[in-house]
Amino acid sequence: MDIVAIIFFVVVVASLGAIFDAPWVPTGKKDYDRIAQFANLESGQTFWDIGSGSGNLLFYAAQKYNAKCVGIEISPFWYAFSKVKSLFYKNVDIKFGDFHDFGFGDVDVVYTFLTQPKYKKVKEKFNKEAKQGAKLIFAVWPVPDQTPNAEDLKPKSKPYYKYVQS
* Contact criterion met (CB below 8 Å) for 142 and 148: yes
Cβ neighbours, 10 Å, residue 19: 10
Amino acid sitting at position 37: Q
Q: What pLDDT is stored for residue 26 in this prediction?
A: 80
Are 120 and 143 in contact by the 8 Å Cβ rule? The answer is: yes
Helix (H) or strand (E) holding 82: helix 76-86
pLDDT of 23 reads: 60
Q: How confident is the prediction along the chain (166 residues), in pLDDT tens digits per residue? A: 566 434 544 444 444 444 444 566 789 899 999 999 999 999 999 999 999 999 999 999 999 999 999 999 999 999 999 999 999 999 999 999 999 999 999 999 999 999 888 999 999 999 999 999 999 999 999 999 999 999 999 999 999 999 999 9
Q: What are phi and psi of 16, to 5 degrees?
A: -55, -35
Query: Which residues have C-beta within 8 Å of that of residue 40, sequence separation ≥ 6?
Result: 135
Domains by residue range for the chain, with CATH: 2-164 (3.40.50.150)
Q: Which helix (H) or strand (E) holds 6?
A: helix 2-19
**Secondary structure letter of residue 115 according to DSSP:** -
- At residue 91, the pLDDT reads 96
Residue of 50, 54, 59 whose CA lies nearest to 91 = 59
pLDDT (0 to 100) of residue 3: 61
What pLDDT is stored for residue 9 in this prediction? 46
Short-list 48, 67, 53, CA closest to 129: 48
Query: How many secondary structure helices (H) and strands (E) does the chain include?
Result: 5, 7
Q: pTM of this prediction?
A: 0.85
- Round to whole Å and give the CA distance between 98 and 75: 9
